[in-house]
Structure formats: C-alpha cells, structure tokens
Amino acid sequence: MEYIHFHVFLDGVEVGRWSETNIGQLPDSLGKLVGRAKAIEYDRILRTNIEVDVPGEYTEEQLRLLHTPHRGE
C-alpha cells in the first residue's frame, strides 16, 4: 500500500480530502482517533484494497493529526 486517500464528509457532503504516502504511520496516526486496536484492524483491511469508513464525530484538530504535510507543502 503506497498511498492512502482520506475523504471527510459532513452531513453526507465531502468537505475535505487529502492523500498520504504510506510510510507505516497509519496505525499510530489513526489510533489517535479510533484507538490502536481499531487502527490496526483498519490498516489490515486497507492493505487488501478495500475502502474503510471510520464513523464518528471528530474535530478539525483531530483530523489534522492524521495529515502530516509533505516537504514543500
């Protein structure tokens, strides 16, 4: 899995999106939102090329923790 694409929806409308290069940080980053065990489960599912919905309500600050800017951003 080289890239991970995130889409953020609010009331069924996409309000944000970004992509990350996978450098093995997904369980740690996503674990901040959903807990380590669930993040590891999502990582395993994503490696089979299946989309994963992460239901719940999150603050903008929590979502920023997932987005690690690349050099030059």
Interval 23-61: pLDDT, tens: 777 788 888 888 999 989 988 888 887 888 888 888 878
Taking the C-alpha atoms of residue 61 and residue 39, their distance in angstroms, rounded to an integer, is 18
Taking the C-alpha atoms of residue 44 and residue 1, their distance in angstroms, rounded to an integer, is 10
pTM: 0.66
Give 65's Cβ-side CA count (13 Å radius).
Answer: 13
> Can you give the pLDDT at residue 71?
42
Tokens of 19: 């992509």
CB 39 within 8 A of CB 31: yes
Binned at pLDDT 50, 70 and 90, residue 69 comes out as low
